[in-house]
Protein backbone atom coordinates (compact mmCIF):
# COMPACT_ATOMS: atom_id res chain seq x y z
CA UNK A 1 0.00 0.00 0.00
CA UNK A 2 1.33 3.42 -1.00
CA UNK A 3 -1.10 5.94 0.39
CA UNK A 4 1.10 8.94 -0.36
CA UNK A 5 2.21 8.57 -3.99
CA UNK A 6 1.57 11.85 -5.85
CA UNK A 7 -0.32 13.22 -2.84
CA UNK A 8 0.28 16.74 -1.52
CA UNK A 9 1.60 16.52 2.01
CA UNK A 10 2.32 19.28 4.50
CA UNK A 11 4.96 18.66 7.17
CA UNK A 12 5.19 21.36 9.82
CA UNK A 13 8.55 21.43 11.55
CA UNK A 14 9.87 19.44 8.61
CA UNK A 15 13.42 20.77 8.91
CA UNK A 16 13.84 19.38 12.43
CA UNK A 17 15.17 16.07 13.66
CA UNK A 18 11.97 14.03 13.19
CA UNK A 19 10.76 16.18 10.31
CA UNK A 20 13.77 15.43 8.10
CA UNK A 21 13.43 11.70 8.66
CA UNK A 22 9.73 11.96 7.86
CA UNK A 23 10.30 13.99 4.69
CA UNK A 24 12.88 11.46 3.48
CA UNK A 25 10.49 8.55 3.97
CA UNK A 26 7.61 10.40 2.28
CA UNK A 27 9.79 11.33 -0.70
CA UNK A 28 10.68 7.65 -1.08
CA UNK A 29 6.93 7.02 -1.33
CA UNK A 30 6.54 9.53 -4.16
CA UNK A 31 4.80 12.29 -2.19
CA UNK A 32 4.78 15.97 -3.13
CA UNK A 33 5.87 17.74 0.01
CA UNK A 34 5.52 21.22 1.46
CA UNK A 35 7.55 21.97 4.58
CA UNK A 36 6.89 24.89 6.92
CA UNK A 37 9.48 25.85 9.52
CA UNK A 38 11.20 28.76 11.22
CA UNK A 39 14.61 27.17 10.57
CA UNK A 40 16.84 27.99 7.67
CA UNK A 41 16.72 25.28 4.94
CA UNK A 42 20.29 24.07 5.51
CA UNK A 43 21.25 21.01 3.41
CA UNK A 44 17.58 20.45 2.66
CA UNK A 45 15.82 18.45 -0.05
CA UNK A 46 15.76 20.27 -3.42
CA UNK A 47 12.47 18.65 -4.45
CA UNK A 48 10.58 19.95 -1.42
CA UNK A 49 8.67 23.24 -1.28
CA UNK A 50 10.10 25.05 1.76
CA UNK A 51 8.17 27.90 3.39
CA UNK A 52 9.42 29.90 6.35
CA UNK A 53 6.36 31.03 8.33
CA UNK A 54 5.26 31.45 11.93
CA UNK A 55 2.41 29.05 12.75
CA UNK A 56 1.23 31.09 15.72
CA UNK A 57 -0.28 33.35 13.01
CA UNK A 58 -3.69 31.97 11.98
CA UNK A 59 -3.52 33.38 8.44
CA UNK A 60 -0.24 31.58 7.82
CA UNK A 61 -1.82 28.27 8.82
CA UNK A 62 -4.76 28.74 6.45
CA UNK A 63 -2.38 29.66 3.61
CA UNK A 64 -0.13 26.61 3.96
CA UNK A 65 -3.04 24.14 4.15
CA UNK A 66 -4.30 25.14 0.70
CA UNK A 67 -4.45 22.17 -1.72
CA UNK A 68 -3.06 19.74 0.87
CA UNK A 69 -4.16 16.09 1.18
CA UNK A 70 -2.35 15.07 4.38
CA UNK A 71 -0.89 17.06 7.26
CA UNK A 72 1.85 15.83 9.57
CA UNK A 73 2.00 18.41 12.35
CA UNK A 74 5.46 17.83 13.81
CA UNK A 75 6.35 21.41 14.80
CA UNK A 76 7.02 21.88 18.48
CA UNK A 77 9.17 23.51 21.14
CA UNK A 78 12.04 21.25 22.17
CA UNK A 79 14.63 21.75 24.89
CA UNK A 80 16.14 20.41 28.09
CA UNK A 81 14.04 19.31 31.05
CA UNK A 82 15.09 22.46 32.92
CA UNK A 83 13.72 25.04 30.46
CA UNK A 84 9.97 24.51 31.14
CA UNK A 85 10.59 25.57 34.73
CA UNK A 86 12.71 28.58 33.79
CA UNK A 87 10.63 29.84 30.86
CA UNK A 88 7.29 27.99 31.02
CA UNK A 89 5.38 30.52 28.93
CA UNK A 90 7.89 30.15 26.09
CA UNK A 91 6.56 26.61 25.87
CA UNK A 92 2.91 26.99 26.68
CA UNK A 93 1.85 30.02 24.63
CA UNK A 94 3.36 29.16 21.23
CA UNK A 95 2.34 25.50 21.47
CA UNK A 96 -1.25 26.38 22.33
CA UNK A 97 -1.37 28.83 19.44
CA UNK A 98 0.15 26.79 16.65
CA UNK A 99 -1.46 23.50 17.69
CA UNK A 100 -4.92 25.10 17.77
CA UNK A 101 -4.34 27.02 14.53
CA UNK A 102 -3.03 24.07 12.54
CA UNK A 103 -5.78 21.61 13.43
CA UNK A 104 -8.53 24.13 12.71
CA UNK A 105 -6.89 25.20 9.43
CA UNK A 106 -6.58 21.57 8.34
CA UNK A 107 -10.24 20.92 9.17
CA UNK A 108 -11.44 23.98 7.28
CA UNK A 109 -9.25 23.06 4.31
CA UNK A 110 -10.75 19.59 4.07
CA UNK A 111 -7.54 17.56 4.37
CA UNK A 112 -7.92 13.78 4.12
CA UNK A 113 -5.99 13.00 7.31
CA UNK A 114 -4.20 14.89 10.06
CA UNK A 115 -1.42 13.65 12.35
CA UNK A 116 -0.97 15.43 15.67
CA UNK A 117 2.32 15.04 17.51
CA UNK A 118 1.67 14.90 21.23
CA UNK A 119 4.28 13.80 23.79
CA UNK A 120 5.03 11.42 26.64
CA UNK A 121 4.91 14.60 28.73
CA UNK A 122 1.11 14.29 28.85
CA UNK A 123 1.50 11.44 31.34
CA UNK A 124 1.90 11.52 35.08
CA UNK A 125 5.14 9.95 36.37
CA UNK A 126 4.79 6.17 36.36
CA UNK A 127 6.94 3.17 35.62
CA UNK A 128 4.97 2.39 32.47
CA UNK A 129 2.51 4.78 30.79
CA UNK A 130 -0.48 3.24 29.01
CA UNK A 131 -2.37 5.30 26.42
CA UNK A 132 -5.78 5.05 28.10
CA UNK A 133 -4.51 6.16 31.50
CA UNK A 134 -3.64 9.71 30.49
CA UNK A 135 -6.81 11.40 31.77
CA UNK A 136 -6.78 9.61 35.12
CA UNK A 137 -3.90 11.73 36.40
CA UNK A 138 -1.99 14.96 35.73
CA UNK A 139 1.30 15.64 33.92
CA UNK A 140 4.49 15.55 35.98
CA UNK A 141 5.55 18.78 37.66
CA UNK A 142 8.63 18.51 35.43
CA UNK A 143 6.40 18.66 32.33
CA UNK A 144 3.44 20.62 33.66
CA UNK A 145 2.97 23.40 31.10
CA UNK A 146 4.21 21.61 27.97
CA UNK A 147 2.31 18.51 29.10
CA UNK A 148 -0.95 20.40 29.43
CA UNK A 149 -0.39 22.21 26.12
CA UNK A 150 -0.04 18.85 24.37
CA UNK A 151 -3.11 17.52 26.19
CA UNK A 152 -5.15 20.46 24.91
CA UNK A 153 -4.30 19.46 21.35
CA UNK A 154 -5.60 15.96 22.05
CA UNK A 155 -8.81 17.42 23.49
CA UNK A 156 -9.21 19.60 20.42
CA UNK A 157 -9.02 16.50 18.24
CA UNK A 158 -11.75 14.91 20.36
CA UNK A 159 -13.86 18.04 19.89
CA UNK A 160 -13.86 17.68 16.09
CA UNK A 161 -15.06 14.11 16.43
CA UNK A 162 -17.94 15.15 18.71
CA UNK A 163 -19.06 18.33 16.96
CA UNK A 164 -18.20 17.67 13.30
CA UNK A 165 -17.90 13.86 13.10
CA UNK A 166 -14.34 14.44 11.85
CA UNK A 167 -12.30 11.53 13.13
CA UNK A 168 -9.51 11.59 10.54
CA UNK A 169 -6.83 12.35 13.12
CA UNK A 170 -3.95 10.22 14.37
CA UNK A 171 -2.25 11.13 17.66
CA UNK A 172 1.26 9.95 18.50
CA UNK A 173 3.02 10.34 21.85
CA UNK A 174 6.79 10.00 21.30
CA UNK A 175 9.17 9.21 24.16
CA UNK A 176 12.67 10.74 24.40
CA UNK A 177 13.61 11.29 20.76
CA UNK A 178 17.19 11.59 19.53
CA UNK A 179 19.08 11.47 16.22
CA UNK A 180 20.73 13.55 13.52
CA UNK A 181 19.85 17.26 13.35
CA UNK A 182 19.01 17.31 17.06
CA UNK A 183 19.48 20.40 19.22
CA UNK A 184 22.99 20.22 20.72
CA UNK A 185 22.88 23.56 22.54
CA UNK A 186 24.04 22.82 26.10
CA UNK A 187 21.69 25.43 27.55
CA UNK A 188 18.50 23.77 26.35
CA UNK A 189 19.20 20.38 24.76
CA UNK A 190 17.86 16.96 25.76
CA UNK A 191 19.99 14.33 27.51
CA UNK A 192 21.61 12.48 24.57
CA UNK A 193 22.67 15.51 22.49
CA UNK A 194 23.77 17.30 25.66
CA UNK A 195 25.98 14.39 26.72
CA UNK A 196 27.41 14.05 23.20
CA UNK A 197 28.48 17.68 23.21
CA UNK A 198 29.87 17.40 26.73
CA UNK A 199 31.80 14.26 25.78
CA UNK A 200 33.29 15.91 22.71
CA UNK A 201 34.29 18.98 24.72
CA UNK A 202 35.84 16.83 27.47
CA UNK A 203 37.89 14.86 24.95
CA UNK A 204 40.25 11.96 25.57
CA UNK A 205 41.35 11.86 29.20
CA UNK A 206 38.96 14.66 30.20
CA UNK A 207 35.90 14.55 32.43
CA UNK A 208 32.27 14.75 31.32
CA UNK A 209 29.86 16.20 33.88
CA UNK A 210 26.49 14.42 34.12
CA UNK A 211 23.55 15.88 36.02
CA UNK A 212 22.19 13.69 38.82
CA UNK A 213 23.44 10.25 39.81
CA UNK A 214 22.74 8.49 36.50
CA UNK A 215 20.03 6.23 37.93
CA UNK A 216 16.90 7.56 36.15
CA UNK A 217 15.49 5.17 33.56
CA UNK A 218 14.14 6.54 30.30
CA UNK A 219 12.55 5.30 27.08
CA UNK A 220 14.56 6.47 24.05
CA UNK A 221 13.52 6.23 20.41
CA UNK A 222 15.43 7.25 17.30
CA UNK A 223 13.88 9.98 15.14
CA UNK A 224 13.75 7.61 12.15
CA UNK A 225 11.51 5.23 14.09
CA UNK A 226 9.30 8.10 15.21
CA UNK A 227 8.84 9.10 11.56
CA UNK A 228 8.13 5.48 10.62
CA UNK A 229 5.57 5.28 13.43
CA UNK A 230 3.86 8.44 12.22
CA UNK A 231 3.52 7.08 8.70
CA UNK A 232 2.33 3.73 10.09
CA UNK A 233 -0.39 5.45 12.14
CA UNK A 234 -1.72 7.36 9.13
CA UNK A 235 -1.47 4.44 6.70
CA UNK A 236 -3.43 2.26 9.12
CA UNK A 237 -5.90 5.04 9.97
CA UNK A 238 -5.25 4.69 13.68
CA UNK A 239 -7.47 7.13 15.56
CA UNK A 240 -6.72 6.11 19.14
CA UNK A 241 -3.61 7.80 20.62
CA UNK A 242 -0.50 5.64 20.35
CA UNK A 243 2.81 5.67 22.20
CA UNK A 244 6.05 5.79 20.24
CA UNK A 245 8.98 4.50 22.25
CA UNK A 246 10.92 1.27 22.53
CA UNK A 247 9.04 0.09 25.62
CA UNK A 248 12.29 -0.74 27.40
CA UNK A 249 14.27 1.35 29.85
CA UNK A 250 17.84 2.57 29.66
CA UNK A 251 19.57 4.38 32.53
CA UNK A 252 21.17 7.77 32.01
CA UNK A 253 24.38 6.17 33.29
CA UNK A 254 24.31 3.62 30.46
CA UNK A 255 23.91 6.35 27.86
CA UNK A 256 26.69 8.39 29.47
CA UNK A 257 29.04 5.40 29.51
CA UNK A 258 28.43 4.72 25.81
CA UNK A 259 29.21 8.32 24.92
CA UNK A 260 32.20 8.57 27.27
CA UNK A 261 33.64 5.38 25.80
CA UNK A 262 33.44 6.88 22.32
CA UNK A 263 35.32 10.05 23.30
CA UNK A 264 37.69 8.38 25.76
CA UNK A 265 36.67 10.57 28.70
CA UNK A 266 35.73 9.97 32.31
CA UNK A 267 32.32 10.61 33.92
CA UNK A 268 31.58 12.76 36.95
CA UNK A 269 28.03 12.60 38.28
CA UNK A 270 26.76 15.79 39.90
CA UNK A 271 24.29 14.67 42.55
CA UNK A 272 23.56 18.27 43.49
CA UNK A 273 21.61 18.54 40.22
CA UNK A 274 18.09 17.05 39.93
CA UNK A 275 17.54 13.53 38.64
CA UNK A 276 14.01 14.13 37.44
CA UNK A 277 11.46 11.33 37.68
CA UNK A 278 13.04 7.94 38.62
CA UNK A 279 11.55 5.95 35.74
CA UNK A 280 9.42 6.81 32.71
CA UNK A 281 8.60 4.19 30.10
CA UNK A 282 5.90 3.94 27.45
CA UNK A 283 3.77 0.84 26.93
CA UNK A 284 4.11 -0.10 23.24
CA UNK A 285 1.59 -2.94 23.06
CA UNK A 286 -0.95 -0.94 21.03
CA UNK A 287 1.51 -0.21 18.22
CA UNK A 288 3.35 -3.53 18.33
CA UNK A 289 0.06 -5.46 18.23
CA UNK A 290 -0.78 -3.72 14.94
CA UNK A 291 2.50 -4.85 13.38
CA UNK A 292 4.79 -1.88 13.96
CA UNK A 293 8.45 -2.73 14.54
CA UNK A 294 11.45 -0.61 15.51
CA UNK A 295 14.45 -0.42 13.17
CA UNK A 296 17.14 1.32 15.29
CA UNK A 297 18.49 0.01 18.61
CA UNK A 298 19.87 2.41 21.21
CA UNK A 299 23.55 1.51 20.78
CA UNK A 300 23.53 1.92 17.00
CA UNK A 301 21.37 5.02 17.24
CA UNK A 302 23.64 6.80 19.72
CA UNK A 303 26.75 5.98 17.69
CA UNK A 304 25.06 7.18 14.50
CA UNK A 305 24.11 10.42 16.25
CA UNK A 306 27.69 10.92 17.49
CA UNK A 307 29.02 10.40 13.95
CA UNK A 308 26.53 12.92 12.56
CA UNK A 309 27.47 15.44 15.26
CA UNK A 310 31.18 15.16 14.50
CA UNK A 311 30.63 15.42 10.73
CA UNK A 312 28.26 18.41 10.90
CA UNK A 313 29.89 20.96 13.19
CA UNK A 314 28.88 23.80 10.86
CA UNK A 315 25.20 22.86 11.11
CA UNK A 316 24.85 22.60 14.87
CA UNK A 317 23.40 26.06 15.43
CA UNK A 318 21.08 26.32 12.43
CA UNK A 319 17.89 25.56 14.39
CA UNK A 320 15.47 28.31 15.36
CA UNK A 321 15.68 28.67 19.15
CA UNK A 322 12.56 30.17 20.72
CA UNK A 323 14.40 30.65 24.03
CA UNK A 324 16.93 33.00 22.45
CA UNK A 325 14.75 34.94 20.03
CATH number for 36: 3.40.50.720
Assess if residue 126 is contained within a domain: yes
CA–CA gap between residue 90 and residue 322 (Å, rounded):
7
Assess if residue 157 is contained within a domain: yes
pLDDT score for 91? 76
Identify the weakest region by mean pLDDT among 182-191, 243-252, 306-315.
182-191
Give the confidence band of 323 by pLDDT, cuts at 50, 70, 90. Answer: very low
Residue pair 247/258 in contact (Cβ under 8 Å)? The answer is no
pLDDT score for 101? 97
Give the mean pLDDT of the chain: 92
- C-alpha radius of gyration, the chain, whole number: 19
Q: pLDDT tens digits, residue range 241-252?
A: 999 999 999 999
Residue pair 322/49 in contact (Cβ under 8 Å)? The answer is no
Arithmetic mean of pLDDT, 283-309: 97
**Percent of the chain whose pLDDT exceeds 90:** 77
pLDDT score for 60? 97
Give the confidence band of 290 by pLDDT, cuts at 50, 70, 90. Answer: very high
Arithmetic mean of pLDDT, 13-34: 97
Identify the weakest region by mean pLDDT among 77-91, 92-106, 217-231, 284-298.
77-91
Pick the residue with more confidence: 36 or 321? Answer: 36
Give the confidence band of 86 by pLDDT, cuts at 50, 70, 90. Answer: confident
Task: Look at residue 320 and tell me whether its pLDDT is greater than 60.
Answer: no
Assess if residue 310 is contained within a domain: no
Number of domains composing the chain:
1
Pick the residue with more confidence: 236 or 80? Answer: 236
- Give the domain extent around 104: 8-182+219-248+280-296
Q: pLDDT tens digits, residue range 173-185?
A: 999 999 999 989 8
Task: Look at residue 85 and tell me whether its pLDDT is greater than 70.
Answer: no
Alpha-helical regions (H) of the chain: 17-28, 58-64, 83-86, 88-109, 144-164, 191-202, 223-235, 252-263, 285-289, 298-311
Assess if residue 164 is contained within a domain: yes
Assess if residue 206 is contained within a domain: no
Assess if residue 117 is contained within a domain: yes
Assess if residue 45 is contained within a domain: yes
Arithmetic mean of pLDDT, 143-170: 94
pLDDT score for 84? 63
Task: Look at residue 130 and tell me whether its pLDDT is greater than 70.
Answer: yes
Rounded to a whole number of angstroms, the distance between the first and last alpha carbons of the chain is 43
Task: Look at residue 88 and tell me whether its pLDDT is greater than 80.
Answer: no
**CA neighbor of 54 nearest in space, from 41, 68, 37, 42:** 37
Amino acid sequence: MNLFKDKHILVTGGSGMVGRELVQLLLERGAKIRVVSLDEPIDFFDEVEFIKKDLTDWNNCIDICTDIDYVFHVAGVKSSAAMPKIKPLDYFIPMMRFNTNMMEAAFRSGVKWYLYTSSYGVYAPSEISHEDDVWKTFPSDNDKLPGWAKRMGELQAEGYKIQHDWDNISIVRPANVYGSWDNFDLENSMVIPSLIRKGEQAGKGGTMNVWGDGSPIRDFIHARDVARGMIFAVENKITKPVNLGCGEGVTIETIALTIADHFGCEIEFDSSKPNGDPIRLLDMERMFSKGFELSVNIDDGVRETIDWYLDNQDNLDYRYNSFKE
